[in-house]
Structure 1
């Protein structure tokens, strides 16, 4: 049996992420986590007051990893090419981590924690650095960033549940066509 001293917040978060990736966005219960960590459920409450608190920590980690992915893969890009790259990275990250993406969306909707809003603002700020190369109007900048975020979220959710599987056009092609429409 795992002792309390062998547990950590990070170990619990990682275990929750593993369970979510193996099952679905709503599967990381304290009972399942405790079973996987071979500890008592009560030990988890020392680190997280409830499941919403744990989901918030998982969502914060998700956004941190997305930030890192964007910074790594978009280095050296600028202007429209940079925005296109950011959108592609967000889409790929979201699809690769579908269950976590769904949890992050759900948690963002119900959480009043400022860190979620800050993560979105960081993403918006990165996008603005690229937009400023070719757009000066503030309303247009906001419309473009909202459009890209909405397109990515829609793509991840709809592709993730299988709604965009159609032999008429590949998912990636329709994504790029719609992205082009937002940027023109």
Structure 2
């Protein structure tokens, strides 16, 4: 008779999340996840083909969390300012997870960049004042906003700067206005 599974897929994903949220993707190993669950690595490999499969499932779960719980919170009534404030809030509240996803070499990488761009475009296009922007203008707007927001998030989560929400909102509004008034789009190639 086959043994009954005692460790579920959800439990493995929860333990994987805890490892990444506290230690980053550099510690994302079967042994570290199993240690978090106080078991062997066998249940992990019974549920997932390999660690890449587990990482993919975890990243998907994190994307869902960010898209439904973090980024859509309305704060100021301007979607770009709100996205930025929520992004910075996430960086300050969940410092290690933020760094793991957005700053570490083995984090979300290209898929994190694509997720962020797609979410940005989907959100921004709902706003009448941005709905007519071309693909190039949206790309340029995302790139400029992304650079400023990531700089603020990294500096704030490290405790180096402490701007108020009003100061951040003003900076982001000025950034958006400056980007949209440019004759040529910002063209920075991602990896």
TM-score, normalised via structure 2 length: 0.70
1:84/1:76 CA distance change after superposition, 3 Å: closer
Question: Which structure has the highest helix share of the two?
Answer: 1
Residues 165 and 171, structure 1, Cα contact 8 Å, conserved in 2: no
- C-alpha separation in 2, matches of 1:176 and 1:71: 15
Q: Which ranges of structure 2 fall in alignment gaps of 5 or more residues?
A: 178-191
Counterpart mapping for 1:4-153 below 5 A: 5-70=5-70, 72-74=72-74, 77=77, 81-105=78-102, 106-109=106-109, 117=114, 120-130=117-127, 132-134=128-130, 136-138=132-134, 139-153=136-150
The 10-residue stretch of structure 1 (142-151 or 85-94) with the greater mean CA deviation from structure 2:
142-151
1:171/1:12 CA distance change after superposition, 3 Å: farther
Query: In the comparison of the two structures, how many residue pairs are matched?
Result: 171
4+ residue runs of structure 1 moved beyond 4 angstroms? 171-174
Residues 25 and 99, structure 1, Cα contact 8 Å, conserved in 2: no
- C-alpha separation in 2, matches of 1:110 and 1:136: 27
Q: Which ranges of structure 1 fall in alignment gaps of 5 or more residues?
A: none
Please provide the CA RMSD for this pair.
Answer: 3.2
TM-score, normalised via structure 1 length: 0.73
